[in-house]
Amino acid sequence: DYIAILKFLTDKRNALQIIADKKTNAITNLSTQEKALQAVIDELKDRKLLSTKIDDVKKAINNLKIVSKLESKRNSFSTNSISRKTTEAREELVKQNFIQLFNEELKSLRKSQIQVELNFGTVKGHSKIQQKLNTSYSLAEILSEGEQKAIALAEFLTELQLDNSKSPVIFDDPVNSLDHNIIDDVSRRLIRLSKERQVVIFTHSILFFNSIMQKSELHSSKGIEFKYYEAHTDLTTTGILHETKTVRKDTFANYETTINKILNLPKEEREKQENALAIEGYDNLRPAIEVFVEDEMLKNTVKRYRRNVALTSLEKISGGLIDLHKEELNEVFERSCGYITGHSNPEELTAKPSLQGLKDDLAIVQKIRVAFKS
C-alpha cells in the first residue's frame, strides 16, 4: 500500500523535524537563558546581602527623607540677608576706624582744618577709597600740592596702622611740596613708625635730613637703629650707595686716620692702584675740611647738619686767622671736589689725582689746623 506507507513516512519525518527544531532552538537560546538564570542568582545574592544591612538601609532611607524635606524648605532658611548685614556691619566698623585714624594722622600733619570726606567702595573686587570735600570741586582744584600730599600721606599712614604684616615700607621724598613747618612733624611720625617696622627714606631735602638727624639723638628715639647713605658717582658708574658717618662720628681725626691708612699702604699696592686710592683719599679729605671749618674755624657757630646758628659761639671765631688761611684752604677744597668720586663732570678732569698730591694737600690742611688749635 504505497500511499499508506508514504503517509506514514511523511508523518514520521515531520515529527522528527519538530523534535530537531526544538533542540535547535534550545541550543540557540541557551546563552540567553544562562544570562537570565545568572540574573536570578545575582538577585538572590543581593537579597541575601541586603538582609544583613536592613538597619543601614532604613537609616539611609530616613536621611534621604530628611534631605528631601530640607530641600523643599530651602527658601525658608536663606541666610543671604544675615550675611549681607554682617558684611555691612564689618565694613562700617572698618570705615569708622579708618576715618578716626585718618583724622588723627591728618591732625599730626597739621592739616586737620581740611574737612576731607572719605568714600569707601570697590572697583573690580578691590577696595578703593575716594576723597572729596564738601564742595563740587575736586581736591586738585582747590588744594595746594602740599595739602594734597599731606592727605595722601595721612591716608597711607592710616593703611599702615591697619596692616598687620609689619613689612618694611619705603618713602620716596615724602616731604616734597610740603610746607617746611610740618617737615618736623613728618620726621617725628616716620621715626615713631620705625618702632613698628623698618622704614627706608629717600630724600633730596636737607631740611628733612637735618630733622631726622636731630630727632635721632633724642631720648624718645632710643632703641632705634639709624643708618645714613649717600649716592655717589664714580668715573664709570652712577648711583653707588656709601654709608655716611653720623654727626657724632663725623670728626677730622676719623677722616685723617682713614687718609693715613691709604698713604701707609705697602708700596706695591699703592703703585698698582694709585689713582683709585688717591680718589678715595680725596673722598675723605673733602669732608675732613668741612668738619675742620665747622668745628675749629667757625667754632660750631654753624654746622652742615643743623638748621640753627649758635650765636654764643660767634665771639670765639678768629676772623684774622680765617683771612690768613682761607685762600689756601679753599684751593685744597676745590681740588678735592674735582677729584672725588661724586664729581659731576668727570670727563672734564685735566689731571688724575696722585697719592703724593693727596699727602701734600693733607699736610697743608694739618698745618692750617695747627694754627687754629694754637
Average pLDDT over residues 115-136: 70
pTM confidence score: 0.53
Chain mean pLDDT for the chain: 84
Are 362 and 283 within 8 A, CB to CB? no
pLDDT for residue 97: 85
Question: The cell 500511499 sits on which residue?
Answer: 3
How many CB atoms are closer than 10 A to CB 68?
A: 9
Indicate if the pLDDT at residue 328 is higher than 90. yes
- Nearest alpha carbon to residue 220 among 195, 200, 201: 195
Weakest mean pLDDT among 61-75, 301-315, 355-369 = 301-315
Average pLDDT over residues 354-374: 92
- Per DSSP bridges, beta strands 169-172 and 199-202 are parallel
- Nearest alpha carbon to residue 258 among 222, 297, 288: 288
User: Which one-letter DSSP state was computed for residue 164?
Assistant: -
User: Degrees (nearest 5) of the Cα angle 196, 198, 202?
Assistant: 130
Q: What are phi and psi of 202, to 5 degrees?
A: -105, 135
DSSP symbols for 216-275: HTSGGGTT-----EEEE--SS---EEEEPP-TTT--HHHHHHHHHHHHTS-HHHHHHTHH
Q: What are phi and psi of 171, to 5 degrees?
A: -115, 130
Distances in Å between the Cα of 231 and the Cα atoms of 45, 203, 240, 348 are 88, 11, 5, 21
Q: Which three cell numbers stand for residue 336?
A: 678735592
Q: Which three cell numbers stand for residue 21?
A: 527544531
How many CB atoms are closer than 10 A to CB 118?
A: 16
CA distance 291 to 293: 5
pLDDT for residue 346: 46
- Nearest alpha carbon to residue 245 among 232, 257, 229: 229
Which band of pLDDT confidence, cut at 50, 70 and 90, is reported for residue 264?
very high
